[in-house]
Amino acid sequence: MLTVLKLNQQEHRIGPGLPTTVIGERINPTNRKAFVEELERGDFETVRRDALAQKEAGAQVLDVNVGTGSVDEVRILPKAIEVAVQAAGLPICIDSSNAEAMEAALKVYPGKALVNSVTGEENSLGKILPMVKEYGAAVIGLTLDDDGIPSDVEKRVEIARKIIERSVEIGIPKEDVIIDPLTMSVATDSKAGAVTLEAVHRIATELEVNVVLGASNVSFGLPDRSTINAAFLAMAISAGVTAVISDPTNVVLTKAILAADVLAGKDDFAQRYIQNYRARKQ
C-alpha cells in the first residue's frame, strides 16, 4: 500500500517496508511569537530557514502550518508553501483547519500534496474530501468524530474505517488515505500510549493503509520529553507506523527513528543510520 506524494517531477513514496518518512513539523506558529509577527507582516524568512534546516536534518516532507488568529491564512498559507518549496524542494503536507486556506494552497502547489487533515466529523468529511479529490491530493485522516477523540481502540479503528470508506466512495484511492490514530498524554492517562499503539497495529494490519503519528502529545506534562517521545516513536514504528510528524532537528528523535528502522529491517545494511552518524560526527 504505497502513498506517492509529488512535487513537480519528484516523487516520495510512503509504505510498509520502506524507511519511515519524516514529516518535518517546525513550520508552525504555535508558541512562537516572533514567527507570528513575521507572518503578520508578510515576512517568510523563518519559513525559508526552517524548511532548509529540516531538509538538511533528514526530513522528506515538510508540514506547513500558519494557522493563528492574527494571520490571514487564506493569503499567507499559499505564499508560505511557495517559499518552503523553493527553499527545500520537498513535497508539502498542507496543514490547516481553514478549508478556504487549504483550497488556496492546493491551487498553487505544483504536484500531489498531502492534506492535513480530515476527521470523522460529518462537516469535515463533507468539506475536505471533495477538495482532496478535486486536486488529486492525499489526505491524513484523524480518528476523532463529532463525539471527540475516543479513549478506546475499537472506536478509533471504526472512525478510521469510516474515513477510508467515505474517501473511496467519492473516488479517492485507498492508498491516498493515511490514518493518524492520535496520541494523548500519558501524564493524565497512563494507558493512552498503549491504546494508540494498539490502534496503530490494528489499522495497519486490518485496514491495510499507511499510518502516521506525531509524538509530542504523549509526553505532555512530563520532564525530559524527548526521551519519552523517542521511545514512543520507536515502538510506533514497530507497531506499523510508516510516517512520523516530528522535528528532524531534534537529534534524540532522529536517532530513535533511524535505529527503529534498522531493527525493523527497513534500512538495508543500516546505510541511512551510518550516513546520519557520520554526518553528525563531521
Percent of the chain's residues with pLDDT above 70: 100
Domain count, the chain: 1
For residue 182, is pLDDT > 90?
Answer: yes
Q: Give the pLDDT score at 232.
A: 97
The CA radius of gyration of the chain, in Å to the nearest whole number, is 18
The confidence band for 69, taking pLDDT boundaries of 50, 70 and 90, is confident
Mean pLDDT of 97-105: 97
- pLDDT tens column, 234-243: 999 999 999 9
Question: What single-letter amino acid sits at 269?
Answer: F
For residue 148, is pLDDT > 90?
Answer: yes
Mean pLDDT of 213-222: 94
For residue 108, is pLDDT > 90?
Answer: yes
CATH number of the domain residue 174 falls in = 3.20.20.20
Q: Give the pLDDT score at 84.
A: 98
SS (H, E, C) the chain: CCEEEEECCEEEEECCCCCCEEEEEEECCCCCHHHHHHHHCCCCHHHHHHHHHHHHHCCCEEEECCCCCCCCHHHHHHHHHHHHHHHHCCCEEEECCCHHHHHHHHHHCCEECEEEEEECCHHHHHHHHHHHHHHCCEEEEECCECCECCCCHHHHHHHHHHHHHHHHHCCCCHHHEEEECCCCCCCCCCCHHHHHHHHHHHHHHHHCCEEEEECHHHHCCCCCHHHHHHHHHHHHHHHCCCEEEECCCCHHHHHHHHHHHHHCCCCHHHHHHHHHHHHHHC
Domain with 276 in it: 3-281
Q: Give the pLDDT score at 138.
A: 98
For residue 215, is pLDDT > 90?
Answer: no
Residue 31 vs residues 38, 41, 47, 68, 155: alpha-carbon distances, Å: 13, 18, 15, 10, 32
For residue 29, is pLDDT > 90?
Answer: yes
Using CA atoms, how far apart are residues 211 and 205, in angstroms rounded to an integer? 10
Are β-strands 243-246 and 21-27 bridged in parallel, bridged antiparallel, or unpaired?
A: parallel
For residue 144, is pLDDT > 90?
Answer: yes
The confidence band for 100, taking pLDDT boundaries of 50, 70 and 90, is very high
Contact between residue 180 and residue 213 where contact means Cβ atoms under 8 Å apart: yes
Using CA atoms, how far apart are residues 67 and 85, in angstroms rounded to an integer? 18
Q: Give the pLDDT score at 282.
A: 87
Q: Which residue has the higher pLDDT, 190 or 1?
A: 190
Contact between residue 170 and residue 137 where contact means Cβ atoms under 8 Å apart: no
The confidence band for 154, taking pLDDT boundaries of 50, 70 and 90, is very high
Extract the C-alpha cell encoding 273: 543510520
Using CA atoms, how far apart are residues 189 and 228, in angstroms rounded to an integer? 15
Q: Give the pLDDT score at 133.
A: 98
Contact between residue 78 and residue 58 where contact means Cβ atoms under 8 Å apart: no
Q: Give the pLDDT score at 191.
A: 97
What's the mean per-residue pLDDT of the chain? Answer: 97
For residue 1, is pLDDT > 90?
Answer: no
State the burial class of residue 205 (Cβ atoms within 10 Å of its Cβ: 0-12, 13-18, 19+). exposed
Mean pLDDT of 91-103: 97
